[in-house]
Amino acid sequence: MRLLESVPNVSEGRDRTVVDAIASAFGGAGARVLDVHLDADHNRAVITLLGDEHALEEGLVAGIREAARRIDLRRHEGVHPRVGAADVVPVVPLAPDDRPRAVSLAEGVAHRVGSELGLPVFLYGGVGAGHRPSFFRRGGTEELDRRIAAAELEPDHGPARLDPRSGAVLVGVRAPLVAFNLALDGSVELARQVAAAVRESSGGLRGVQALGLGLRDGVAQVSTNLVEVDATPLHALVERIAAEVRSRGARIGAGELVGLVPAECVVSAATAHGVARPFDAHGLPTEAALDAAAGAFRLERLAADRVLDWHVRRWGT
């Protein structure tokens, strides 16, 4: 059976012990924990999982339970928008034929989180009404609570009230995406201007979501999700951000890959930068391709195990 991916995001990025306990719960039924990315400024962890339906369903319910037990949103501070301790829980089909399985898994997890854990669940993306997480996050937990109380929104599963400690859970189905951040030496306002210039919703690049954020050390950041990797190559997004920053008289800093990256993004960047043979005999990026992509993405290094396909080939059936 082909494997599915899931990339739950939880609202803790500073306490490694807490995140490790949550990640262990996610992987406790047999799913592979491929990557755990902590960000102290965002106060968020992104955990990448690979497994069959049973391992992922049991693991996702257990991990959401552990996140709700260990994270108190009333004490949470961080620059990333969120509405839940286990904020978003996407299921990702790795091939088009796997989409029905992903939908069934997401719906099963959502039902169990609502009925067994007593948390309100909203469906997004390829299930439910198709909204993006930002539809539910705007205004934060207070605004979401108001919208529920005013009957503007109704959870798809669970109680029609927001848990003050754990918030809500957004469960969805989506295609593989890339979460990528770029630092710059300008102000937060400049980062917001650049984010507006590159995101699709304000006339920028197709498939790009972007926010301008200020980090604790005074660095500004353009935080992006590339949700259509076929529409806008990652290296093209990085080049566009750099151009927008330079046009405003500032300098671009280092890139940050959050989680894993599909091989096609690496190969596309390598090809654009002159690598003649970016694939090896197994269809994975070569060392030359990884090095070229690291330069294009403004990363110090891009290891083979940061490529999603490397894990799929290793663990897939």
Residues assigned a catalytic role: 80
Which token pair is 28? 């406790």
Tell which phi-psi region holds residue 193, choosing left (phi > 0), alpha (psi between -120 and 50) or beta.
alpha
CA–centroid distance for 281 within its chain:
30
Q: Under a CB-based contact definition with an 8 Å cutoff, are residues 84 and 92 in contact?
A: no
Q: Measuring CA to CA, which residue among 243, 256, 259 is closest to residue 308?
A: 259
Residues 63 and 16: their CA atoms lie apart, in Å, by 15
- Angle, alpha carbons 118-225-111 (nearest 5°): 20
First to last CA, the chain: 6
Residues 6+ apart with CB under 8 A from 55: 29, 30, 31
